[in-house]
């Protein structure tokens, strides 16, 4: 599913020290894996997710997604892959304000040309158990509910890769547990899940744990055989 080799990413901002966010990282993730990436803040795990999610390009190194090199993709092709192949879940949910739950779920389908968007979005919302909140505005939902809407949005196009950046970071234990359960359910259906977290308990749900520090992989519990 994912193969990166010797990927580096450096941020340079005028007047600030150069940040080596990723330093020569190599990693491969097979289809259907559930991987947790653990690391302290500033370790480069968000940069890793941005690179894997085709939101950012590495300065050097190779990234192959589904066996295809991504280096020469145009911005439009990358947008297409983000739309169809990848689903994102963020720590702060990023739901649209004054927009209903179901409309938030439909957002990715605005940028694709599927005619069955109604059924698919209803199904995705049902999968996270929020059908009864479909017409609530995001601001009327609890944090856990908002994140579940965000997950429904991430899975609505049935991506093969789910990327989550600290999805439980803003949630209490119970709500966090529900979110992790949803990722496990998606993974059980064959979706590759990469979950970035600094919470060991959340990471324990994953079958593989990668620890990252100062832009480099510190340890890797190894891919499933």
Which residues form the interface with another protein (CB under 8 A)?
50, 53, 55-56, 75-76, 79-80, 82-84, 88, 90, 92, 94, 96, 98-99, 103, 106-114, 117, 153, 157
Smallest gap from residue 9 Cβ to another protein (A): 10
Q: Which is nearer to another protein, 30 or 107 (CB)?
A: 107
Q: Which is nearer to another protein, 12 or 98 (CB)?
A: 98
Q: Which is nearer to another protein, 72 or 173 (CB)?
A: 72
Residue 10 corresponds to which tokens in the numbers above? 């450096």
Tokens 């999610």 label which residue? 53
Dihedral over alpha carbons 133, 138, 142, 145 (to 10 degrees): 60
Q: Is the distance from CB of 156 to CB of 150 less than 8 angstroms? A: no
Smallest gap from residue 42 Cβ to another protein (A): 13
CA 73 to CA 76: how far, in whole Å?
8
**Number of Cβ atoms within 10 Å of the Cβ of 195:** 28
Q: Which is nearer to another protein, 90 or 183 (CB)?
A: 90
What DSSP element (H or E) covers 126?
A: helix 117-127
Smallest gap from residue 173 Cβ to another protein (A): 26
Smallest gap from residue 114 Cβ to another protein (A): 7
């Amino acid at each position: 599913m994912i193969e990166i080799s010797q990927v580096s990413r450096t941020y340079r901002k005028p007047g600030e020290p150069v940040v080596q966010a990723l330093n020569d990282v190599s990693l491969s993730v097979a289809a259907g894996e559930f991987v947790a990436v653990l690391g302290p803040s500033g370790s480069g795990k968000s940069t890793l997710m941005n690179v894997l999610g085709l939101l950012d390009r590495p300065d050097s190194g190779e990234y192959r997604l589904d066996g295809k090199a991504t280096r020469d993709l145009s911005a439009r092709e990358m947008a297409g892959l983000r739309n169809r192949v990848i689903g994102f879940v963020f720590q702060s949910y990023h739901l649209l304000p004054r927009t209903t739950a179901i409309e938030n779920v439909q957002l990715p389908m605005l940028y694709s040309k599927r005619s069955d968007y109604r059924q698919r979005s209803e199904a995705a919302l049902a999968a996270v158990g929020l059908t009864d909140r479909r017409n609530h505005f995001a601001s009327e939902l609890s944090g856990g509910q908002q994140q579940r809407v965000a997950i429904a949005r991430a899975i609505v196009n049935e991506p093969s890769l789910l990327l989550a950046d600290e999805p439980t970071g803003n949630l209490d234990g119970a709500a966090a547990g529900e979110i992790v359960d949803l990722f496990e359910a998606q993974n059980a259906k064959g979706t590759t899940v990469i979950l970035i977290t600094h919470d060991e308990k959340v990471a324990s749900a994953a079958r593989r744990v990668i620890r990252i520090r100062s832009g480099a992989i510190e340890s890797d519990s190894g891919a499933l055989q």
